[in-house]
Amino acid sequence: MNYISTRGLAPSLGFEDVLLAGLARDGGLYVPETWPRLEKQAIASLAGRPFAEVAVEVIQPFAGGAFSREELLAMARDAYATFGHPAATPLVQLNSNLWVLELFHGPTLAFKDVAMQLLARLMDHVLKRRGRRATIVGATSGDTGGAAIEAFRGSKAVDVVILYPAGRVSDVQRRMMTTPRERNVHAIAIDGTFDDCQALVKGMFNDHAFRDRMQLAGVNSINWARIVAQVTYYFVAAVALGAPHRPVSFVVPTGNFGDIFAGYVARQMGLPIERLVIASNVNDILPRTVATGVYEKRGVTATTSPSMDIEVSSNFERYLFEAQGRDSALIRGQMAALAQSGRFEVKGGPELLARDFSAASASEEDVAEIIRRTRQVSGYMTEPHTACGLVAAERCLKPGSTPQVVLSTAHPAKFPDTIERILGERPQLPPRLASLMTDEERTTLLPNDLRAVESFIEQHAGAAAEQLG
């Protein structure tokens, strides 16, 4: 299978090259030329199978001949053996028709592990086969950075450089990036917001001389392999609840639009998803877009759900490309308008968006209230991102026979101060992470300046050392 850029000016690539490239050279994001589909019988056959086996069935059509079935299964089994639950992503029932899909049983207690653990193995496999190394650069609003560092720490083929907004991630999130001691990992605190960090990463990829010199690769959700790996748990959850014989609705706490776009991909593949609900905090640019058809930046407010404190949802471009008839010229115009004026209009307006999504935002008061109520009614402890999902489920989904699944994207112990303030009890880290809060940290503070960041990477990444050597 080949992949094309949403902006239409970059060459099409195969899966391996898309895996290593991340962002297309024209600034766009890669999507498959066609959408593979699974027949009802094939979907039904996934019920009860181990997570790694389902991952192979979902990913193989997108990978084409990049990996044999045996290679992909071995990598998937190795990736998900790192998880603290045998089901990898278990369902927990909260009431008669509402489930939480726990995506936080990986090494860094966040949903990013589901894709990142596999992505690291795919990338190492390809780099070894090609006799290459790479420098991974990524931006994080909290969880991606820790997941990337954990997945690639100690790799002999990859250096990892993660940018995070200084003072805008939780202590646990920060320490998962700053306590690893391996020489191939680097955590950089940027004096700015997540959107600033993301812009710096895009700037590095668009600096083609630097990109080639440093052999850049991306692991943010701009990397297509991240998206397709996340598609797996939609199938796992849906078949456990009766798919393909009945539809399922999913509610997704949404920042960069990657996780919910994976749900959109699952639907394109034939999974019967009745509704996809975008759950946001007070940074409600996506719910506003769904309501008005206008994507408009208004600034970012810091909240107790920092992974959603985002205004530029990169993967929304992938959806717009598909929903607006794969019109690359239109996408280029919309992204240029966003850069110049901070807004653009969606062709087809709110009617187009409502066809695929519902959306709701949660205030800080909403988040605290539903965390307390969920603990009181069901005994279940949840964290602020998942709480936004629970709020959106109440507001957007009607009671009925269709199972409703809220994606739980992080473990409560990643936000202990917030949970203790709301519930009066402090969530504990799993025993395997007992030393996290006392281990020595290692980080670098840099200004929001592309040249300063590029200079640091050139000085510290292994690819630079090879160039100089």
User: Counting Cβ atoms within 10 Å, is residue 291 exposed (0-12), middle (13-18) or buried (19+)?
Assistant: middle
Beta carbons within 8 Å of 117's beta carbon, 6+ residues apart: 79, 80, 82, 83, 106, 107, 147, 151
pLDDT tops 70 at residue 468? no
Residue 228 — very low, low, confident or very high, per pLDDT cuts 50/70/90? very high
SS3 150: helix
pLDDT tops 90 at residue 465? no
What pLDDT score was predicted for residue 233?
A: 98
pLDDT tops 90 at residue 80? yes
Enumerate the β-bridge partners of residue 218: 137
Average pLDDT over residues 104-131: 95
Residue 218 — very low, low, confident or very high, per pLDDT cuts 50/70/90? confident
Q: Per residue in 391-406, pLDDT tens?
A: 999 999 988 889 999 9
Phi then psi for residue 397, to 5 deg, are -110, 135
Rounded CA gap, 235 and 411, in Å? 22
Residue 277 — very low, low, confident or very high, per pLDDT cuts 50/70/90? very high
Among candidates 278, 265, 299, 286, which has minimal Cα distance to 346? Answer: 286
Is beta strand 185-190 parallel, antiparallel or unpaired with respect to 444-446? Answer: parallel
Among candidates 384, 460, 461, 448, which has minimal Cα distance to 420? Answer: 384
Scanning the structure block, which residue is given the tokens 């797996």?
232
Average pLDDT over residues 70-98: 97
Among candidates 237, 194, 241, 219, which has minimal Cα distance to 448? Answer: 194
Mean per-residue pLDDT over the chain, rounded: 94
Average pLDDT over residues 89-102: 97
Q: Would you say 38 and 47 are in contact if contact means Cβ atoms under 8 Å apart? A: no
Residue 463 — very low, low, confident or very high, per pLDDT cuts 50/70/90? low
Rounded CA gap, 263 and 213, in Å? 36
Verdict on whether the full-model pTM lies above 0.75 = yes
Q: Would you say 412 and 371 are in contact if contact means Cβ atoms under 8 Å apart? A: no
What percent of the chain shows pLDDT beyond 90?
87
Phi then psi for residue 328, to 5 deg, are -65, -40
Q: Which residues carry out catalysis? A: 112
Phi then psi for residue 160, to 5 deg, are -120, 125
What percent of the chain shows pLDDT beyond 70?
99
CB atoms near residue 309 (< 10 Å): 23
Average pLDDT over residues 162-188: 93
CATH of domain 91-106+225-423: 3.40.50.1100
Q: Per residue in 278-305, pLDDT tens?
A: 999 999 999 999 999 999 999 999 999 9
Q: How far is CA 330 from CA 317, 325, 327, 357, 396, in A?
A: 11, 10, 5, 21, 30
Rounded CA gap, 469 and 464, in Å? 8
Distance of alpha carbon 395 from its chain centroid, rounded? 24
What pLDDT score was predicted for residue 222?
A: 86
Instruction: Return the amino acid letter for 115.
Output: A
Separate counts of helices (H) and strands (E) for the chain:
20, 16
pLDDT tops 70 at residue 332? yes
Q: Per residue in 337-379, pLDDT tens?
A: 999 999 999 999 999 999 999 999 999 999 999 999 999 999 9
pLDDT tops 90 at residue 220? no
What's the chain's length in residues?
Answer: 469
Per domain, the residue ranges of the chain are 91-106+225-423
Among candidates 10, 256, 242, 227, which has minimal Cα distance to 139? Answer: 256
Q: Which of 244-248, 265-269, 397-401 has the lowest mean pLDDT?
A: 397-401
